[in-house]
Amino acid sequence: MTTEEIFARRLQEALDRKKMTQRGLCRILGTADWTVHSWCKGKATPRIWYLPQIARTLDVSTDWLLGVERKVVRQ
């Protein structure tokens, strides 16, 4: 599995756990509506400066999102 696939799967999992929509995360991040959708499909990856905000918003670690950690670690 590629890094992009891991990130996409874990991002969608974190969104589901928080009961947040992709559009909701786009609004928080201030991005276009299609942005998070493309991340969740593995078609694109976020710029590095988005990672801390995504992790804080979804209550996960950046390491978990990137596939470095196996367990969800709440911040």
Q: Are 39 and 45 in contact (CB under 8 A)?
A: yes
Query: Has residue 69 got a pLDDT over 90?
Result: no
What band does 1 get if pLDDT is binned at 50, 70 and 90?
confident
Domains for the chain: give ranges and CATH numbers.
Answer: 3-65 (1.10.260.40)
Average pLDDT along the chain: 92
What band does 72 get if pLDDT is binned at 50, 70 and 90?
low
What's the rounded Cα separation, in Å, for the pair 23 and 33? Answer: 6
What's the rounded Cα separation, in Å, for the pair 14 and 9? Answer: 9
Query: Has residue 59 got a pLDDT over 90?
Result: yes
- How far is C-alpha 30 from the geometric centre of its chain's CA atoms? 14
